[in-house]
Amino acid sequence: MEILGVDIGGSGIKGALVDIARGVLVSDRHRIATPQPAKPEAVAEVVAEVARHFKWQDPIGCTFPAIVHHGVTLSAANVHKAWIGADARALFKSATNCPVYVINDADAAGIAEMEFGAGKGKQGVVIMLTLGTGIGSAVFSNGILVPNTEFGHMEVRGKDAEHRAADSIRKEEDLSWEKWAARLNEFLDRMEALFSPDLFIIGGGVSKKHLKFFPYLEAQADIVPAKLRNNAGIVGAAMAAVGAGMIRKESALDGQINARHR
C-alpha cells in the first residue's frame, strides 16, 4: 500500500509516496522551499502543490515542527506565530481536498526509525533526536511513543538547547565538528540525567555525516545514527496516517487505494 507522506520543515517541505509495508520511498522526493514568512495559508498552499505534483487524491500523512494535539498546532518555534492554535488538519484538508493526519515532525521520524530503522526491536527508553533547523525529540518507552516532547526547547546555559546545538547553529557560527559535538554532549547529558535512556538515535539531514561528529559524542547510553536519514519524517508521516485509522475510515476499500497511482 502506498501513502503520500509530507514533511514540513523550517527550510523545506518535502513529499514522497511511501510503501508503508516496507518503510521505503517509492517515488522521488518532491521538495519546495518553505515560504517566508511561513504563515498557515502559505504553507497549506505548498502542501497542496506537493499533493498536485503526485496527482494525489487519497489520505495524506503530514508532519509539522510543533506540538500537534488532535490536528491543532499549539506551538511555533521555527514557523510563523500565527500557527499557534491553528487547526492544521482542517487547513491542509481544505487546501488538498484530501483527508490529512498531522503529527509532530520528530514523532513521525521516531515512529519510522522504531519500525524500520535503528530502533527496530529495541526495548527500554529510546530517544530519537532530529538535528536540523532546530532540535526535535521523540521518546519511546518499550516501543510506545510519548508524543510532543519537544526537548529541543529545554534550557541549556540560558538558551533553548536548539539555539545552541541545532545543525543550523553549527553552520551559522561556523563551528568545528568537535566544538559542535561538545554542545550536543551538554544536551545529551541533561537528557540522560532526566530519562536514563538505553539508546539515542540521531537523525536529521546531518545524520548522513555522523562519522564527522560521532567520535566526539559522549553518553552512557548507546548512540547510533538514524538509518532512514532525512526520509524518516516522510515515512513516519505516512505510517501515522495509517495507524490513525484514516485509511479504513476515509477510503472505501484498502485494496483500491492508490490503484490509479501505480
User: Domain residues of the chain, as ranges?
Assistant: 2-107+231-261, 121-226
For the chain, the average pLDDT equals: 92
State residue 131 phi and psi, 5-degree precision: -110, 115
Residue 256 is predicted with a pLDDT of: 32
Whether the pLDDT of residue 226 is over 70: the answer is yes
Helix (H) or strand (E) segment spanning residue 201: strand 199-203
**Res 260 pLDDT > 80:** no
Tell me the average pLDDT across 162-181: 97
202 CB contacts (<8 Å, ≥6 apart)? 129, 131, 210, 214, 223, 224, 225, 226
pLDDT at residue 166 is higher than 80? yes
| Nearest CA among 77, 18, 20, 14 for reference residue 50 | 14
C-alpha angle 8-162-160 in degrees, rounded to nearest 5: 125
Mean pLDDT of 125-148: 96
| pLDDT value at 248 more than 60 | no
pLDDT given for residue 246 in this prediction: 58
Measured distance CA(70)–CA(7) in Å, rounded: 18
**Would you say residue 14 has pLDDT above 80?**
yes
13-27, 129-143, 239-253: range with lowest mean pLDDT: 239-253
Span 190-217, average pLDDT: 96
Percent of the residues in the chain that have a pLDDT greater than 70, as a whole number? 93
Average pLDDT over residues 162-185: 97
In three-state secondary structure terms, 231 is helix
Quick check: 48 and 38 in contact, CB under 8 A?
A: no
**Residue 255, pLDDT above cutoff 50:** no
For residues 172 and 10, is the Cβ–Cβ distance under 8 A? no
What CATH code would you report for 121-226? 3.30.420.40
Whether residue 181 is predicted with pLDDT greater than 90 in this model: the reply is yes
Check residue 127 and give its pLDDT. Answer: 98
| Residue pointed to by grid coordinates 514533511 | 7
Residue pLDDT, tens place only, 19-55: 999 999 999 999 999 999 999 999 999 999 999 999 9
What pLDDT is attached to residue 24?
A: 96
- Domain 2-107+231-261: CATH superfamily is ATPase, nucleotide binding domain (3.30.420.40)
pLDDT at site 230: 85
Residue 253 — very low, low, confident or very high, per pLDDT cuts 50/70/90? Answer: very low
Pairing state of beta strands 135-141 and 125-131?
A: antiparallel
The model's pLDDT over 106-134, given as tens digits with 9 standing for 90+, comes to: 999 999 999 999 999 999 999 999 999 89
What pLDDT is attached to residue 77? 80
Instruction: Note the pLDDT of residue 257.
Output: 34
Nearest to 2 by CA among 262, 228, 248, 229: 262
pLDDT score of 258 more than 60: no
Pairs from 158-161 (Cβ < 8 Å, separation ≥ 24): 160/77, 161/135, 161/187, 161/190
> What DSSP string describes 24-65?
EESS--EEEEPPSS--HHHHHHHHHHHHHHTT--S-EEEEES
Could you tell me what percentage of the chain is helix, strand and coil, using 3-state DSSP and rounding each to the nearest 5? 40, 25, 35
**Residue 183 DSSP label:** H
Q: How far apart are CA 192 and CA 221, in angstroms?
A: 8
Task: Please state the pTM of the whole predicted model.
Answer: 0.90
Do domains 2-107+231-261 and 121-226 share one topology? The answer is yes
